[in-house]
Structure formats: structure tokens, C-alpha cells
């Protein structure tokens, strides 16, 4: 509970903060739009799926709190859509959202506006809290109920700052539009729609003394709205997520130890976050309702999932307040790779649909190993420009064998370039020792020794050969032309 908060605001913890309830504990349960009061079936589902797992080992008495649950002029539309698409246990006959009021009021044209209903819900919740003054409390809010509970939490935070002794009150929010990263109110903080009297209250605080559990579902447009609204495919998917996912809160549940759930994302400040991923895009939910076979949808859904995810940045944690952005930062290579994989998956699904085998995977391209002797052959031949590469079956000369190669010289010409200048064979070795052919200082005796003709005395043994080193120059005994 609040007195046991062990996580410092600004720090991320791998486990949720410790919870300590007294023997007398009460859970106050608040429903959402079109749902004024939870019924017995809803109360049982909430306690089993969300309250008991996050508060293990304690006896908690549930109490349903009545609130308006209205949003002029949309309440009537929400009632119809909930009846058609939502959880029958909630929106069907006998459910808590089943209208129990005169027919003339079903349209929603006589309802409170969104802001008015949220404030009235907060007032109703505070009255319920006052009825249990000496008890530890767990407050559960769904959708608009979470909005009303957030109002109460903010008031408590102002009333009990960090250094004040605070009552033991926990919160559990589901389908909350104030999730710092993803909530519709957090995407557009401060936005006000006058005709609806609807204020976007921004992200929920995480620096209070009141431990909070936040449960959201991927693609629920109220709790997981796209970061980049310019992505219209992601926007449409999120809107359909409100109809097909937000209206089915009991499709998810927490295990006895919530930290073992794949949905657990971590704890930041006073809040622990659970994010349930979905296997199916809400984008194709209408087709599924119309009876389109799942294998047919599987042909195109992988591609569209990549497009939808381009509207989000999943690297940003849920607790980081993240308003909507205009232009996404994308890695083109990653995007094309993901689209390519999605297309390949779709093609495989299409082939499976008609009874064919999936497309064969391209073999991995490896590098063929080259024997060490072949490498040596290539190195030698790279240095010997006048020699052609040795055939694989022939033994290439080694460095030590170069000394034994008989060098054949060409017949003397009238000079280099035919201008009457002496050739290398006609230049005495003594003259070569001090000057290079281009007039520069010779590199050294090794280079000089490698440029003389076969009949020159210094051609028989150079200083480097006497020491056992390989002769300088190329393998033919002639000087390399790279220095000219």
C-alpha cells in the first residue's frame, strides 16, 4: 500500500512495490461509459483477474460504486456498438452496461458531457471512500472509471505530499486514457473539444504515495494510441481497437504472481505497468465478424501489422510521457527488411491456403576455404607480374625456390625507349650502387643487386642472400617497375 512504496520516483524497478493491507480492506470498483454500476459477474471477474493477483494473501471486500458513465452525445452510440461488438457479459442483457432507464434517454442526447460525467464520477467515488474511513482501499477503474479515479488520485497527491502521512490507498487502472506513453489523453495533453466538453488531461502522475497498477492492451485506441497520427492505417486500427478490444476488458488477466506475466513491463515511481500484446489486428476484426476465414486474412495481415507498428515507437517505456509526434524516425533498411519478411510470410500463408509448400529459403552464402598452399601461390604470382597464375595442379614456387629460377634476359636493344641510352644489362653494377635509374639515390644494396644482369659479379650473391634472406625485387630477378 501507499505506506510501503519502495520505488523512488524516477527509478525503474524490476518488481512492483510491496503491498501491505490490513485485515479490513475494501475494493471500490468503478465502471466506464454506458456502465453506471458493476454487476456481480463483473465484480467477480475484476477481483479474480486484477485485484487478487496484485494484492495476494489478503481478504478484500468488493463494493461497486455507482457513477453516471455518460458522454454526451456519444453514449447512445457507445451502447449500440457495445451491444454489437463488446463483451456480452457487460453489454448484453443483464450486464452492467445494459440500459436500465427510460427509452427516451437511451439516445444519450440528454446525458452529461464527458467532463461533467468524469467529475460526477470522482465525487461519487469520494463519497464511497468516506463510507470506509478506517479501511485500506483498493480502487479499480475501467475507462471513464479510471479517469474519475485519476482525478481522485491527483487530489490525494496534492493533499498528501511526499513528507506527509498518507492513507493506505491503492489504484488499479485498466483501459486508461492517461497512460503516459500511449494514452489518448497523454498523446494530446491539454486538448479541449468544446462541442463534446471533453478535456484531454495529460499523463497520469507517477510520483505520488499511492501505489498504482496500470493495465493496457495493445491497439486499444484509448490506452495505446499511435505516437505518429500521420500513419492513418495505425489510426484506423486504434479506432477499431476501441470497439473490439476496449469493450472486452476480461479477455486478459494477471497470473497469481503478476511479475511472471509476459505483460509485465516494469515499475516506475508509484506505478507498475502491464501491457498485453494482441495476436490479431483490430483492423481485420470486421472481416472476421463477417466470416472471412482466418487463413485468408493471414495472407495480408503480416504486411499490415508492419505498417501499423510504424505508427509507434516501442522502444519508449510506458511510463515516459510521450505526446504525439509528426514525423517518425525510421531506419529505411530495417523497414524494408521487415516489409520483406512480412511479404514472404504472406506468400507462404497463401501457398499453404491452396495446399502448396512454402517458398524455399535462399541458401546462405558462405566463403569457400582456400588451402594454404594456394594462398601462397596467389601471393607469389601477385608479386610476379610477368608470370601467369599457376594452375591448381601445379606446385607454385616458394620464396626459397626463387633463388634457383634461371633468369632469361632479352637481347640488348639500342637503349631504353629506343633513344640510344644503355639498358640495364649494359650498366656496370658499380654505377648502379649509388644511383637509381631515375637519377635518385638508390634504395640500398639489395635493390641494386636485383637489377644487374646475370653476368655481373654482384648478381651471384647479394648481401641479403648471404644472410639467408630472400632476394629483393620480383621473382624474375629484374627490378620492379613500380619505382619508375
The three-state secondary structure class of 435 is strand
Q: Measured at the alpha carbon of residue 171, what is the angle toward residues 170 and 172, in degrees to the nearest 5?
A: 130
Q: Distance between CA atoms of 213 and 374, rounded to whole angstroms? A: 67
Which neighbouring-strand residues pair with 28? 63, 139
**Residue of 143, 178, 271, 272 with catalytic role:** 143
425 by Cβ neighbours in 10 Å (0-12 / 13-18 / 19+) ranks as: middle
Question: Alpha carbon of 216 to those of 43, 95, 171, 220, 273: distances in Å?
Answer: 19, 22, 14, 8, 8
114: part of which helix (H) or strand (E)?
helix 114-130
CA count, 13 A, side-chain hemisphere, 68: 22
C-alpha cell at 315: 522502444
Centre a 10 Å sphere on the Cβ of residue 182 and count the other Cβ atoms it contains: 29
E strand intervals along 177-269: 192-193, 198-199, 212-217, 264-268
- Reply yes or no on whether 143 is catalytic: yes
Helix (H, G, I), strand (E, B) or coil at 238: helix
What spatial distance separates the first Cα and last Cα of the chain, rounded to whole Å?
86
Q: Which residues are catalytic?
A: 143
Amino acid at each position: 500500500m501507499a505506506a510501503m512504496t519502495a520505488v523512488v520516483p524516477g527509478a525503474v524497478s524490476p518488481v512492483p512495490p510491496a503491498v501491505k493491507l490490513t485485515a479490513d480492506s475494501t475494493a471500490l470498483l468503478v465502471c466506464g461509459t454506458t456502465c453506471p454500476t458493476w454487476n456481480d459477474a463483473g465484480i467477480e471477474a475484476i477481483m479474480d483477474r486484477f485485484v487478487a493477483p496484485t494484492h495476494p494473501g489478503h481478504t478484500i471486500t468488493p463494493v461497486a460504486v455507482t457513477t453516471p458513465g455518460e458522454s454526451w452525445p456519444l453514449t447512445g452510440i457507445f451502447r449500440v456498438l457495445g451491444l454489437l461488438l463488446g463483451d456480452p457479459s457487460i453489454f448484453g442483457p443483464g450486464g452492467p452496461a445494459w440500459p436500465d432507464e427510460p427509452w427516451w434517454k437511451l439516445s444519450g442526447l440528454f446525458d452529461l458531457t464527458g467532463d461533467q460525467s468524469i467529475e460526477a464520477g470522482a465525487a461519487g467515488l469520494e463519497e464511497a471512500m468516506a463510507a470506509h474511513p478506517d479501511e485500506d482501499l483498493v480502487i479499480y477503474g475501467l475507462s471513464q472509471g479510471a479517469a474519475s479515479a485519476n482525478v481522485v488520485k491527483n487530489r490525494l497527491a496534492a493533499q498528501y505530499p511526499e513528507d506527509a502521512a498518507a492513507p493506505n490507498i491503492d489504484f488499479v487502472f485498466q483501459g486508461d486514457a492517461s497512460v503516459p506513453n500511449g494514452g489518448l489523453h497523454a498523446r494530446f495533453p491539454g486538448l479541449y473539444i468544446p462541442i463534446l466538453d471533453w478535456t484531454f488531461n495529460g499523463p497520469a502522475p507517477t510520483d505520488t504515495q499511492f501505489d498504482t497498477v496500470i493495465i493496457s492492451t495493445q491497439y486499444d485506441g484509448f490506452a495505446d494510441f499511435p505516437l505518429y497520427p500521420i500513419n492513418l492505417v495505425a489510426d484506423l486500427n486504434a479506432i477499431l481497437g476501441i470497439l473490439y478490444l476496449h469493450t472486452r476488458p476480461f479477455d486478459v488477466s494477471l497470473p497469481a504472481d503478476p511479475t511472471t506475466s509476459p505483460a509485465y513491463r516494469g515499475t516506475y515511481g508509484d506505478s507498475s505497468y502491464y501491457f498485453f500484446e494482441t495476436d490479431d489486428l483490430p483492423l481485420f476484426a470486421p472481416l472476421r465478424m463477417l466470416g472471412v476465414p482466418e487463413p485468408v486474412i493471414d495472407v495480408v495481415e503480416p504486411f499490415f501489422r508492419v505498417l501499423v507498428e510504424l505508427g509507434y515507437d516501442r522502444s519508449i517505456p510506458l511510463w515516459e510521457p510521450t505526446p504525439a509526434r509528426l514525423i517518425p524516425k525510421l531506419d529505411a533498411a530495417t523497414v524494408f527488411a521487415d516489409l520483406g519478411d512480412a511479404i514472404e510470410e504472406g506468400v507462404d500463408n497463401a501457398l499453404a491456403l491452396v495446399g502448396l509448400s512454402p517458398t524455399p529459403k535462399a541458401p546462405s552464402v558462405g566463403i569457400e576455404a582456400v588451402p594454404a598452399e594456394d594462398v601462397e601461390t596467389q601471393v607469389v604470382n601477385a608479386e610476379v607480374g610477368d608470370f601467369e597464375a599457376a594452375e591448381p595442379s601445379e606446385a607454385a614456387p616458394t620464396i626459397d625456390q626463387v633463388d634457383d629460377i634461371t633468369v632469361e634476359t632479352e637481347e640488348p636493344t639500342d637503349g631504353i625507349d629506343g633513344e640510344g641510352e644503355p639498358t640495364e644489362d649494359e650498366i656496370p653494377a658499380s654505377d648502379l650502387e649509388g644511383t637509381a635509374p631515375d637519377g635518385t639515390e638508390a634504395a640500398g644494396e639489395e635493390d641494386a643487386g636485383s637489377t644487374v644482369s646475370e653476368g655481373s659479379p654482384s648478381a651471384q650473391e647479394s648481401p641479403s642472400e648471404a644472410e639467408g634472406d630472400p632476394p629483393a625485387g620480383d621473382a624474375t630477378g629484374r627490378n620492379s617497375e613500380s619505382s619508375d
